[in-house]
Structure 1
Amino acid sequence: MTGAVRAEAALSRALAKSAQRGRSAESLTDHLAATLTAAGELAARVGRITVVEGAVGRSFWPAVRWAAVSHDAGKVADGFQKMITGRAPTWGQRHEVLSLGFLPLLIDDEALRRWVAFGVLTHHRALVPSADGTGKLSIGQLYGHGGLPLADFRARIGAVDPAIVAELHRWLAATAATAGLPAAAGPSAAAGPQLPDLDVVAAAHTLLDETLRYWEEQGWTGVDHDLTAILLQGAVTLADHLSSAHGTLHGDQPIGPALAARLVGEFTAAGRQLHRHQRQAGDVSGHLLLRAPTGTGKTEASLLWAAAQVADLAATLGGVPRVFYTLPYLASINAMARRLGALLGDDDLIGVSHSRAASYHLAAAICAEDEPTDDIPDGIRDDERRVAAARKAVSRAAATRLFRETVRVSTPYQLLRGALAGPVHAGIVLDSANSVFILDELHAYEPVRLGYILATAQLWERLGGRVAVLSATLPTALAELFGAAMRAPVHQVSAEPGCVPQRHRIGVRDHTLTSPDAVDEMRDRLVAGEAVLVVANNVAQAQQLYDELSSDAHRRHEGDGVADAAILLHSRFKRGDRSRIERRIINRYGTRAATAAGRRRGGLVVATQVVEVSLDVDFDVLFTSAAPLEALLQRFGRVNRLGARPPADAIVHPAAYGPRRADRSGRDYADGVYPREPVEAGWRILCDHDGQPVDEIQAGGWLDEVYATAWGQAWRADVERERRRFHDEFLSFTEPYADRSPLADRFDELFDGTEAILQEDLGDYESALQLADHKAAGRLLADDFLIPMPAYAARLARLDRKLGVRVVDGVYDDEYGLTKVNAVEGERYRLGEVF
């Protein structure tokens, strides 16, 4: 190992990790050396972080590397060694506290030693408790906030072999010297000379007291000390996790000048030219706001921009900038990951980071029986194939959680989790430094989430990052908010009028989507053999329309893939069923499906909002309920997607308005989902353009009309308020080493719903868990039974503590999804309230 020094005989028997799951035990010095190596790899990849220089100058990475090589030194305690080798049930003390005792004779510089002490102390748990006192016991609480008498402290730590301490101290000094770390000037700085007497327990007691007193007396009032503390913790914990997992980091960024040249070459070879907005995006140095309709090469434009930023950042700060491509929906993330993998020539270069990333990798790993992969041999049972694929998927998702890949596709909310910081999430903050962020399809009409994303974009900029916002439907109000949030200028680039053909023609109706007249019109288009897309605002309406129309679709297309002639898609399907449904839709209605089949196929898909930006599909006609104008323009994009035909009908029906049960504000919502005001404003605009083709460039002006209303002014104030609130509550880091775990529940309430299995699936779920001997792989296989539900619906479920899953008593059908959840003590969940 780089920088490692051979351990002497007694020390070589000290362990850091016990044997587990086929891995042999790991010696303490091997683990410390591996962690030091991982810290060096992180430093090489992240590069110079300018925001920390006011706090530690250029000593940030030396502090990280010192903390990495010494973080587990306290594991030499007899109590820990007996516990890890099974000679005692538990030790009950914190090894990181004893690790402090090695630092005073190793590091002369007091300020550097203090930062190293913070890095060592906080790599597993908080230094002090949260403001409300909840969460795990902190280091301060466990050791009397530094006030524990030395005799009591010594009694708790127990015996420590002075011979092993001396050997480890010499090993640390020699390893640090080999690695070029700044150290003490005395004889302990090199291996060989006689080590002065070292009472490691007393030294740990003193340094712990000094560190806690510094926290209490000095606080984090220095320039950028708060963020430096989080970054230090993130670097040390990430290096520790990498070494423990024997993981590696990708050291190259495939999105760079070579990719830009390749894209230009491919366009030229195909007889095409880059659009002006694509060339302009590639010329930008700094933040970008790009407006470009679907079909005008928005993704390629963003990659040309990202390639330029990667080159700029690498030249200025060194390192290997990471590129994050974020999208709001899981299915669209999966599709983008596949697209980028094909573009870069290797799926393994792309990390997928969302709440179901392992499920994505599982779906990618399971092949048809006639398509064996190298690591899942042909000729084995289907169960064995699935278990092997699940193990592979878990391993791949775990590697992404350790930030392996330099290109990652994600939801914005996975990146926002860095706001929780602490030992679990501080690595996200570190990985954000000097990175490039592409935010595709932000939803302006969700002010709370938009405010949080803008606050986090400010943090990314503070960390040296570059941010691009892309959208086919982006109001000027959002552009202004983004510009105001960033310190550096935001360069705006827009597609030219006429760069995309007119693909849609607006038709408005005076009756709702579920009315008999609407159903009759849909039926006529089905009978004519067209591919019909119906988008309802909620699940209940989608199920009702599918029930009324599916038989017509089956009759019309009997003998032509009858099983797929009518398909229902919404968010209340089991995970496994939804994946299969999406594949069926792509196979029949995908933009490449007509070429493969030799002709376009008709049929019916009834869906909810999940279809808006998740599937690359092409229909002949759209019927939809009114929704916010941005959402409608996205739905329009599923029809005549390539613009190869004359403008296709996009027929919009008025929504029904009323209060929503889960909302106590008394406000009205469109079909129980969207706020009334923006939906009505968009509806009036559509009525003014009834019968006219849609100019997608000029449609941006329609959005500006919506956001110029009184609702739009209130929306703007809401976004600003939520941006400030998220900064103040989550991103100010005024007490970076306090326990932040209570924030996690609040965060999850904002972004996550819940998931549950049906009572009738309980046995199958448990069997799937036991199918694989690898716990995580078994749970992944069992996850196919999970059904998403809104967070408030959790009260309708019971928690099975043995299996760790919520269970509901509901009615489910493979074709219709979840149709009913039976009442629990008077509670009722209505499918019409959420999409």
Structure 2
Amino acid sequence: MGCFYMSQNIFAKPDESLKEHTEKVLKVFKSFRKIYQNAPAYAGDPLFFQKLFWAVFLHDFGKGATGFQEQLNPKGKRWGYRHELLSTYFVNLLPYNDNDLEDIHLWIVTHHKDLRELQEKYFDEETYNDRLKEIKPVEKELITFLEEGKRKFQEMFGDEFNLKDNLADNELLFKTLKKMIKNVRMEKKLEAKEKIRGILGRGFLMAADHLASAGKDYIENFPAPSRVYKFHNLYSTQKFCREFKGSLMLTAPTGSGKTEAALFWGEANQKPGEGDRVFYILPYTASINAMYDRLKEKFGEEKVGFLHGKAQYYLYKKLGEDDLTRIRDLKDLNRKILKPLKIMTPFQLIKAFFGVKGFEMNLAELLEAKVIVDEIHAYDPRTTALLLTSLKFLQDHFNVRTLVMSATIPTFLKNLIQEKLAISQEVTLTSDELNRFTRHRVEVLPYDIFNSMQKIKEYLNKGKKVLVILNTVKRAQEVYQLFADMPFRKKLLHGRFMQRHREAIERELSDLDLLVATQVVEVSLDIDYDVLFTEPAPLDALLQRFGRVNRKGQKGISKVYVLSTGSSEDQYIYYPDLVNKSIEVLKEVDILYEAKIQEMIDKVYGQGFTKKQEELFKEVEKSMKSLLDSLYPYVVFEENEDRFYKLFNSVEAVPERYLGEYQELVEQDKYFEAMGYLVNISLNQFFKLQKQGHIYRKDNLLVVGSRYDDELGLILDEPESILEGFI
């Protein structure tokens, strides 16, 4: 009766009793224990789950304080203290040694705030002891509930468990907190197991609490791809991946079932109790959105999540509603340890190692995970170094297995990845299989795009769908305007459109006669044209561009034209030496046989990184290793968080012409619709505009004063003239 009485009168939330919430969190904990059975070994602690059980059970006991309970009333005033600190008072009843009790104290006290924030505001023993008096009226009821916890513990672990007879002063709490803060200040290196134990303990407790609060009482299991994909015939790579256990490198062309092969590998490497999570890493948000839609349709929304910087906006567009709370909740669920298959950018993985808020939860989810890294060729040396160093840490400490794959990987990069990640096995299609994907005839034209206009018009007049790819937005805008008076269905596409305009253009891509574009078409857009004209670029980028023509190989052999001359601005985008080597290699090609592509790639990239690239790779690798060494559980390093966000090389701004519409939407709380008015600007362009006085800040919003044209996008070199429409 006492327990029932307590459960009805001590609340964790306005509409949920402490008992109800605790039982929900315990259900999630039980699910974690089943999926992450080996966590105690990685934490170096056979009592890990027993201790975590008590951290889960006691984490909200401090909410019994009279001030907290009053705060929950509709007109209750803010309490001004932290319940987590008071919850640790009851840890004194547990019969563990001081080292084990330290862990439980730290997990409980940091399940909302990190140690630094708590220290700034709440590390005062006198105040703590004074606040403890607020627990006294319900102390007996909480101890009665603790007896129920003892019974649950015995049911779960089968061990006899006796609580101590009386509550002592909580001297150990502040001793523990001060010791950990001192360790952080003195940059004392934690033993690997101690670090992992802190990460897993805090991470699992935070995740269980958050999921229970979101109405979830278990986490999903990884779906079996072999039950979903019922192919009559498998490629050799798919057959291999269905059986192979361990880290692997896979090279296969687009359209050869590479994604399915990777998922088969993920399934082959699953074992009950070994994490049961698969992370699929792609370089671009457009790729992630497309992959999310594709896999969600196959496996169900409850099994598949996605993470990238614009996830909220994407959910808004998919749901067709502006419910800020619901969309944030959906995005947050994707971040939690819930969905077993997550598609994400590399930065979402790397982010955790910068010690940003909640990093322990992100890392705990990765325990014994299977990580698929797709399109590995797409990353610059800096991102490659960050990614490989992070994966190496996960391999060493979390037994993560990795599948690295791409349609094209230079041998030097394969060797580098195999060395850093200790991958000894590689698989690719047979020569016969590869050549089934042969679908292009290449011709290098000895001039630039402007001398190709007549040839382009001839194809258009024959009813062919023509794709023209330029290396810069400025050149694409110039070329597109040359077709202005021609009666063809045409569009321009590049990265300097407002999001809402870019989406509108992308919806029309399959119905066009002519698409003039930049590199944005190299990834993820499901387009299929008859002929290509492209400015020169490194071979791997050109191969991606070729893939937008005769995509499914149903048109026989299609023509792709590579111009030998680009614009003077190209040198700031691509290394001229790589571009020149690529052109020379392609001059020797007529029909582009897939089985020959690896040899061509290695002719271009035979020397590996340039000296400058290699120096950058080594410098970033060294910095990242130092960052990993200094990673502390329980502490958020804001300075490292700043370093993380500086990795991104673009900003978002609203074109001045649309500022009024943007502000009106914000005033109406239509935040996601307002996001459609943002345009991306590279940091280099931002600094240039800043120097010219063409970009400025208004109410924490960047406004760009360059001319914006709905058909052409942002024209950086021309100032906006708001009056022009009225003259």
TM over 0.5: yes
**Would you say 1:732 and 2:594 are equivalent positions?**
no
**Would you say 1:681 and 2:581 are equivalent positions?**
yes
CA positional deviation for 1:576: 2.1
Match of 1:33 among 16, 23, 28: 23
Q: Counterpart of 1:398 in 2: which secondary structure? A: helix
- Cα 1:28–1:342 change in 2 (3 A) is closer
Alignment of 1:154-233 (within 5 A): 154-155=129-130, 157=131, 159-180=133-154, 188=163, 196=166, 198=167, 202-203=169-170, 205-213=171-179, 216=182, 219-233=188-202
Counterparts of 2:258 and 2:578, CA distance in 1: 26
Match of 2:426 among 474, 485, 492: 492
CA positional deviation for 1:700: 1.4
**Would you say 1:628 and 2:542 are equivalent positions?**
no
Counterparts of 2:218 and 2:705, CA distance in 1: 45
Counterparts of 2:428 and 2:260, CA distance in 1: 14
Q: Counterpart of 1:478 in 2: which secondary structure? A: helix
Q: Deviations over 1:706-751 (max 9, x none)?
A: 332375465445434423322322x334433333122122111113
> Which amino acid in structure 1 is aligned with residue 385 of structure 2?
G
**Aligned residues of 2:283 and 2:346 also touching (Cα < 8 A):** yes
1:510 is matched with 446
Q: Deviations over 1:641-674 (max 9, x none)?
A: 122233222222245576xxxxxxxxxx725322
**Aligned residues of 2:81 and 2:122 also touching (Cα < 8 A):** no
CA positional deviation for 1:289: 0.6
Alignment of 1:264-275 (within 5 A): 266-268=230-232, 273-275=233-235
**Would you say 1:76 and 2:10 are equivalent positions?**
no
Q: Deviations over 1:150-180 (max 9, x none)?
A: 445434x374141312321331342243133
1:780 is matched with 672
Q: Counterpart of 2:491 in 1: which secondary structure? A: strand
2:724 is matched with none
Counterparts of 2:431 and 2:608, CA distance in 1: 29
Counterparts of 2:383 and 2:707, CA distance in 1: 32
2:81 is matched with 93
2:492 is matched with 568
Q: Deviations over 1:472-491 (max 9, x none)?
A: 1111111111111224x432
Counterparts of 1:6 and 1:99, CA distance in 2: 20
392-401 or 736-745, which moves further after superposition? 392-401
Q: Counterpart of 1:697 in 2: which secondary structure? A: helix
CA positional deviation for 1:11: 6.5
Q: Deviations over 1:176-235 (max 9, x none)?
A: 43133789988647xxxxx63x36xx41x5422234226646955334322332222211
- Cα 1:815–1:510 change in 2 (3 A) is same
Q: Counterpart of 1:640 in 2: which secondary structure? A: coil
Match of 2:485 among 551, 562, 571: 551
1:607 is matched with 517
CA positional deviation for 1:767: 4.0
> Which amino acid in structure 1 is aligned with residue 492 of structure 2?
L
2:93 is matched with 105
1:251 is matched with 220
1:696 is matched with 594
**Would you say 1:479 and 2:419 are equivalent positions?**
no
- Cα 1:41–1:231 change in 2 (3 A) is same
CA positional deviation for 1:636: 0.8
CA positional deviation for 1:612: 0.5
**Aligned residues of 2:377 and 2:406 also touching (Cα < 8 A):** no
Q: Deviations over 1:495-515 (max 9, x none)?
A: 1223224211222223233x3
**Would you say 1:819 and 2:711 are equivalent positions?**
no
Counterparts of 2:172 and 2:190, CA distance in 1: 24
1:17 is matched with 13
CA positional deviation for 1:640: 1.4
**Would you say 1:45 and 2:12 are equivalent positions?**
no
Counterparts of 2:55 and 2:717, CA distance in 1: 52
Counterparts of 1:758 and 1:746, CA distance in 2: 28
> Which amino acid in structure 2 is aligned with residue 241 of structure 1?
H
- Cα 1:736–1:646 change in 2 (3 A) is same
1:340 is matched with 295
**Would you say 1:741 and 2:677 are equivalent positions?**
no
Counterparts of 2:2 and 2:665, CA distance in 1: 46
Match of 1:351 among 293, 300, 305: 305
**Would you say 1:531 and 2:497 are equivalent positions?**
no
**Aligned residues of 1:78 and 1:159 also touching (Cα < 8 A):** no
> Which amino acid in structure 1 is aligned with residue 502 of structure 2?
R
- Cα 1:296–1:50 change in 2 (3 A) is farther
CA positional deviation for 1:454: 0.8
Counterparts of 2:464 and 2:97, CA distance in 1: 76
Q: Counterpart of 1:252 in 2: which secondary structure? A: coil
Q: Share of identical aligned residues, percent?
A: 28
**Aligned residues of 1:122 and 1:423 also touching (Cα < 8 A):** no
- Cα 1:478–1:176 change in 2 (3 A) is farther
> Which amino acid in structure 2 is aligned with residue 240 of structure 1?
D
Match of 1:242 among 207, 211, 219: 211
Q: Counterpart of 1:364 in 2: which secondary structure? A: helix
- Cα 1:822–1:102 change in 2 (3 A) is farther
Alignment of 1:757-768 (within 5 A): 757-768=654-665
300-309 or 413-422, which moves further after superposition? 413-422
- Cα 1:113–1:767 change in 2 (3 A) is same
Q: Deviations over 1:579-603 (max 9, x none)?
A: 2222211x43xxxxxxxxxxxxx61
- Cα 1:582–1:520 change in 2 (3 A) is same
1:135 is matched with none
Corresponding residue pairs, total: 707
Q: Deviations over 1:13-60 (max 9, x none)?
A: 333334xxxxxx33333333322322222222333236624x32x322
**Would you say 1:360 and 2:270 are equivalent positions?**
no
Alignment of 1:268-667 (within 5 A): 268=232, 273-310=233-270, 313-314=271-272, 318=273, 321-344=276-299, 346-366=300-320, 386-387=321-322, 393-421=327-355, 423-443=357-377, 446-462=380-396, 463-487=398-422, 489-499=423-433, 500-513=436-449, 515=450, 517-552=451-486, 555=487, 557=488, 565-585=489-509, 587-588=510-511, 603-654=513-564, 656=566
Counterparts of 1:62 and 1:550, CA distance in 2: 71
**Would you say 1:126 and 2:114 are equivalent positions?**
yes
2:121 is matched with 142
Long gaps (5+) in structure 1:
19-24, 129-137, 190-194, 367-385, 558-564, 589-601, 659-668, 773-777, 825-835
Long gaps (5+) in structure 2:
721-727
> Which amino acid in structure 1 is aligned with residue 638 of structure 2?
S
> Which amino acid in structure 2 is aligned with residue 16 of structure 1?
A
2:104 is matched with 116
> How big is the alpha-carbon RMSD for the aligned residues of Structure 1 and Structure 2?
3.0
- Cα 1:335–1:734 change in 2 (3 A) is closer
300-309 or 396-405, which moves further after superposition? 396-405
TM-score by length of 1: 0.78
Match of 2:47 among 52, 56, 59: 59
Counterparts of 1:806 and 1:292, CA distance in 2: 42
> Which amino acid in structure 2 is aligned with residue 167 of structure 1?
E
> Which amino acid in structure 1 is aligned with residue 481 of structure 2?
D
CA positional deviation for 1:632: 1.0
Q: Counterpart of 2:81 in 1: which secondary structure? A: coil
Counterparts of 2:575 and 2:104, CA distance in 1: 51
CA positional deviation for 1:572: 1.5
> Which amino acid in structure 2 is aligned with residue 679 of structure 1?
V
CA positional deviation for 1:250: 4.2
- Cα 1:27–1:445 change in 2 (3 A) is closer
- Cα 1:432–1:223 change in 2 (3 A) is closer
Q: Deviations over 1:36-87 (max 9, x none)?
A: 322222222333236624x32x322333332222222223333333444366
**Aligned residues of 2:204 and 2:364 also touching (Cα < 8 A):** yes
